[in-house]
Amino acid sequence: MWKFLHRLASPPHFYRIAINLIPWFAMPGLLLLAYGTYAGLFVAPADYQQGDAFRIIYVHVPAAYLSMMAYMIMAVSAGIGLIWRMKLAHAVAAAVAPLGASFTFLALATGSIWGRPMWGTWWEWGDPRLTSELVLLFLYFGYMALRNSIDDTSKADRASAVLAMVGAVNVPIIHFSVEWWSSLHQGSTLVRKGGPAMDAAMLYPLLAMIFGFTLVFGALLLRRLRAEVLFRERRKRWVRDLILSGNGKR
Amino acid sequence: MGPYGLYVWSCFALTAIVLVICEWRARTRHRHVYRDIEVRVKALGDTE
């Protein structure tokens, strides 16, 4: 196991196997998204309180969950890179940040669109989950801006790793905000005592969307990571050999 | 979808757009990095 992980952390090895891993994430991910979208829009019954507006849950919840998971991946990778100086770990942190920002934007935008018919407003500053999710978006922007402002890659890695790790405190705040403070958001629907508070006809499409989003996110991360690894290793012999052989263009 | 159709469809459309942009950006970034290195390696090869 450790031998496998050690080999995987080697940039040339990772670069070569990542392209073969992408379809294994993308294909089942897209199939799950297709099923989840169809079932969520056309099969699941309308909610007795929210009517058809509740169907926004099928994109809002996966986006919100991935916005937090991406940040945790970024913070843990940055920490590993900072402590154990693993090259691939900093590359993971750098590659995941734009994806995390995209999913955070998506969670905020779909939440805002959902809020208009349900709460009668696009935005509510007093809601702790909304504001803490917005802080998460700013943390992603800050991380990317800090990286881009430092030319030396190793210095950029170290400085941005500190920011990523400090900002991780916001993730549990987002998650538990609905329990700690008064919020417009409802409590947890899926992970709760006594099981999910949803009928199976509504639940299965949601689970399909969550797993589908996660797999597609994995495929996107692998694709971004290949570019990041190639950029960081651009002066290495293996990259020169790769270019001269004509492989690795995909 | 009744009165909520515009809200629901706009969310799904926005999600599709964001996913497509993420994929496109990842591919473009890889292509640019690869091309830059290719130019440099070929330039070095010409001078050797």
Query: Which pLDDT tens digit goes with each residue over B7-42?
Result: 999 999 999 999 999 999 999 999 999 999 999 888
User: What integer pLDDT is reported at residue A1 of this predicted model?
Assistant: 63
Phi, psi of A47 (to 5 degrees): -70, 145
Closest by CA position to A53, among listed B16, B7, B11: B7
Q: Is B10 on the interface with A (CB under 8 A)?
A: yes
User: What integer pLDDT is reported at residue B2 of this predicted model?
Assistant: 80
The ipTM value here is 0.91
**Which distant-in-sequence residues (6+ apart) come within 8 Å of B4 by Cβ?**
A51, A52, A53, A55, A117
Closest by CA position to A248, among listed A215, A221, A226: A226
Q: What is the pTM of this model?
A: 0.92
**Would A1 be classed as within a structural domain?**
no
What DSSP state is assigned to residue A247? T
User: What integer pLDDT is reported at residue B3 of this predicted model?
Assistant: 85
Q: Dump the DSSP string for A197-218.
A: SS-HHHHHHHHHHHHHHHHHHH
Rounded to whole angstroms, the Cα distance separating A185 from B2 reads 24
**Would A16 be classed as within a structural domain?**
no
User: What integer pLDDT is reported at residue A183 of this predicted model?
Assistant: 74
Residues of A in contact with B36 (CB under 8 A): 234
Of A93 and A50, the structure prediction assigns the larger pLDDT to: A93
Q: Six-digit token pair at B22?
A: 């993420």
* Residue contacts between A and B (CB atoms, under 8 Å): 88
pLDDT band at A11 (very low <50, low <70, confident <90, very high): confident
- Identify from A43, A52, A61, A228 which residue to disrupt to test chain B contact, counting B C-beta atoms within 10 A and taking the largest count: A52
Residues of A in contact with B13 (CB under 8 A): none
- Dmax of chain B from CA atoms? 70
Is residue A202 over pLDDT 80?
yes
Closest by CA position to A156, among listed A232, A49, A247: A232
Contact A36, A205 (CB under 8 A): yes
Contact B27 A223 (CB under 8 A): yes
In the block, tokens 């993971």 appear at: A92
Residue of chain A whose Cα is closest to the Cα of B33? A231
pLDDT band at B46 (very low <50, low <70, confident <90, very high): low
- CB-side exposure of A156: number of CA atoms within 13 Å? 18
Residue-number span of the structural domain to which A211 is assigned: 32-186+199-244
User: How many other CB atoms are found less than 10 A from the CB of residue A103?
Assistant: 30
Domain boundaries, chain B: 22-48
**Would A11 be classed as within a structural domain?**
no
Rounded to whole angstroms, the Cα distance separating A171 from A236 reads 37
Residue A59 CA: distances (Å) to CA of A55, A73, A111, B30, B43: 8, 21, 9, 28, 47
Rounded to whole angstroms, the Cα distance separating B21 from B14 reads 10
pLDDT band at A189 (very low <50, low <70, confident <90, very high): confident
In the block, tokens 């989840």 appear at: A36
Contact A224 B29 (CB under 8 A): yes
**Would A4 be classed as within a structural domain?**
no
Residues of B in contact with A114 (CB under 8 A): 7, 11
**Would A5 be classed as within a structural domain?**
no
Contact A93, A160 (CB under 8 A): yes
Name the least confident of A8-12, A34-38, A52-56, A155-159: A8-12
User: What integer pLDDT is reported at residue A193 of this predicted model?
Assistant: 72
Rounded to whole angstroms, the Cα distance separating A38 from A137 reads 30
**Would A123 be classed as within a structural domain?**
yes
User: What integer pLDDT is reported at residue B44 of this predicted model?
Assistant: 79
Contact B15 A106 (CB under 8 A): yes
Q: State the smallest CA–CA distance between residue A3 and chain B in angstroms.
A: 28
Q: How many distinct structural domains can be found in chain A?
A: 1
Is residue A5 over pLDDT 70?
no
**Would A228 be classed as within a structural domain?**
yes
Chain-centroid distance, C-alpha A157:
20
